[in-house]
């Protein structure tokens, strides 16, 4: 089984480059299932019904969320009718779920969406949530388990990897929008601290630069916007799974209208 994960899709530029390239990437690399974090897909904040349809039609099979999950009112309906997750460690009673189960070519696959604690909205302990949920999934016969951990602190992401290595297939971090170079496989679990954004690459984490610079200089709040035009990037991790183990993994980048480039192979630590 070959799956792929796209980090935070930011606004129209992110949706556009996914639409331009994803289906051809799926064909070229024989990808069976595509997961994408979409909490910034609608002008940088949340996800609308219209934009969710656009992304599903572009070749995405499942979407995950994070702290911007609730920014658009459409999400309440979307969580009911579409394969869209919100962080599973929100308190009991919150709309939606953070677990998705499917079967691909006769193999079971589970996706778990979690959110960190540092600087994030109120959620329950992601480590306890993950530990308990992984036990349940494995008891139900799910060996192929993918986790999107949406967190600010790199230490939280690394801590989850150390806790769950050998028990899940892959842990990919999102939220900071800045890709890291630590793609690795340890105890058959693929890990990267942050995949990096898909969207504008020539500004501040996908947003037009004026507002964040003003905030950095003055400390005053400012309205963040997506640029009307920019240089764009698509970033995704491709993972080959076999019996719950990450056999291989690599990162692909696409710049603007260019061709997909394999820019990093997963380093096997054992």
Contacts of residues 217-224 at CB distance under 8 Å and 24 or more positions apart, as own/partner, are 224/44
- pLDDT, mean over the chain: 97
19-30: average pLDDT: 98
Q: For residue range 162-201, what is the model confidence (pLDDT) as tens digits?
A: 999 999 999 999 999 999 999 999 999 999 999 999 999 9
The count of domains in the chain is 1
pLDDT score at 269: 86
33: domain CATH number is 3.60.21.10
Candidate list 21, 43, 68, 88, residue with the active-site label: 68
Confidence of residue 112 (pLDDT cuts 50, 70, 90): very high
Specify whether 177 is catalytic.
Answer: no
Q: For residue range 198-224, what is the model confidence (pLDDT) as tens digits?
A: 999 999 999 999 999 999 999 999 899
Q: For residue range 93-104, what is the model confidence (pLDDT) as tens digits?
A: 999 999 999 999
**Residue 45 domain boundaries:** 2-268
Confidence of residue 76 (pLDDT cuts 50, 70, 90): very high
Q: For residue range 135-167, what is the model confidence (pLDDT) as tens digits?
A: 999 999 999 999 999 999 999 999 999 999 999
Against a cut of 0.95, is the pTM above it?
yes
DSSP 16-62: HHHHHHHHHHHHHHT--EEEEE-TTTTTTSS--HHHHHHHHHTT--E
Q: Is residue 233 pLDDT above 80, yes or no?
A: yes
Widest Cα–Cα separation across the chain: 56
What is the rounded distance in angstroms from the CA atom of residue 86 to the CA atom of residue 185?
A: 26
pLDDT score at 228: 83
Determine contact, residues 238/266, Cβ cutoff 8 Å.
no
Point out which residues pair with 236 in neighbouring strands. 6, 252
Say which residue, 54 or 222, is predicted with more confidence: 54
Confidence of residue 79 (pLDDT cuts 50, 70, 90): very high
Using left for φ > 0, alpha for ψ between -120 and 50, and beta otherwise, residue 141 falls in: left
Confidence of residue 262 (pLDDT cuts 50, 70, 90): very high
pLDDT score at 242: 96
pLDDT score at 57: 98
pLDDT score at 270: 72
Confidence of residue 126 (pLDDT cuts 50, 70, 90): very high
230-249: average pLDDT: 98
110-128: average pLDDT: 97
């Amino acid at each position: 089984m070959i799956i792929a994960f796209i980090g935070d899709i930011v606004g129209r530029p992110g949706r556009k480059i996914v639409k331009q390239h994803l289906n051809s990437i799926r064909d070229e690399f024989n990808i069976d299932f595509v997961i994408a974090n979409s909490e910034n897909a609608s002008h940088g904040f949340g996800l609308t019904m219209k934009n969710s349809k656009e992304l599903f039609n572009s070749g995405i099979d499942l979407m995950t969320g994070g702290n911007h999950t609730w920014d658009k009112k459409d999400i309440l309906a979307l969580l009911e009718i579409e394969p869209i997750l919100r962080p599973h460690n929100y308190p009991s009673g919150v709309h939606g779920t953070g677990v998705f189960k499917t079967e691909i070519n006769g193999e079971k696959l589970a996706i778990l969406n979690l959110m960190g604690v540092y600087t994030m909205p109120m959620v329950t302990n992601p480590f306890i949530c993950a530990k308990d949920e992984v036990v349940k999934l494995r008891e139900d016969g799910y060996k192929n388990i993918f986790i999107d951990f949406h967190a600010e602190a790199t230490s939280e992401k690394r801590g989850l990897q150390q806790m769950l290595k050998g028990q899940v297939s892959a842990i990919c971090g999102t939220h900071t929008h800045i890709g890291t170079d630590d793609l690795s496989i340890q105890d058959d679990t693929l890990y990267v601290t942050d995949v990096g954004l898909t969207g504008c690459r020539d500004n501040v984490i996908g947003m037009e630069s004026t507002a964040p610079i003003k905030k950095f200089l003055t400390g005053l709040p400012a309205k963040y916007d997506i640029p009307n035009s920019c240089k764009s990037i698509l970033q995704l991790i491709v993972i080959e799974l076999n019996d719950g183990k990450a056999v291989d993994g690599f990162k692909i980048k696409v710049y603007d209208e260019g061709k997909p480039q394999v820019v990093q192979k997963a380093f096997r630590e054992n």
